[in-house]
Amino acid sequence: MKKKKNNILAEGEATGHHHKVVGDSVAVYEEVYGDNSLKLEVHEECEVTHQEHNTIPVKPGTYRTGKVIEYDPFQQRAREVAD
C-alpha cells in the first residue's frame, strides 16, 4: 500500500483544480486494489475540498474512490467523466 502525501483524490484535467481530503486524522492510499481507485481511511470527521464548489463532510470510515464512467448510447461507448 502506497500512502499519498498530498491527500488529493482527483485532479482536474484542464484547470488544475482538485478534490482534496482535509483533516488531521485521514490517510489516502493508492495501488491497493490493482486499479486506479484509492483507499481513504478517515478516523475523525473531515472534509473534501474543491476550488469550485462547497466542501463535502466525510464521516469516519474506510472508503474506496474511483473515476466515474458514463455511457453515451449515441456513440455506443463509455468514457471517464471529466471534472
Is 63 in contact with 75 (CB distance < 8 Å)? Answer: no
With 60 as the cut, is the pLDDT of residue 83 above it? no
pLDDT digits (tens, 9 = 90+) for 46-72: 999 998 889 999 999 999 988 777 788
Tell me the pTM.
0.73
Give me the number of domains the chain comprises. Answer: 1
Residue 9 C-alpha cell reads as 483524490
Residue linked to cell 466515474:
68
Q: Structural domain of residue 40, as residue ranges? A: 2-80
Is 77 in contact with 11 (CB distance < 8 Å)? Answer: no
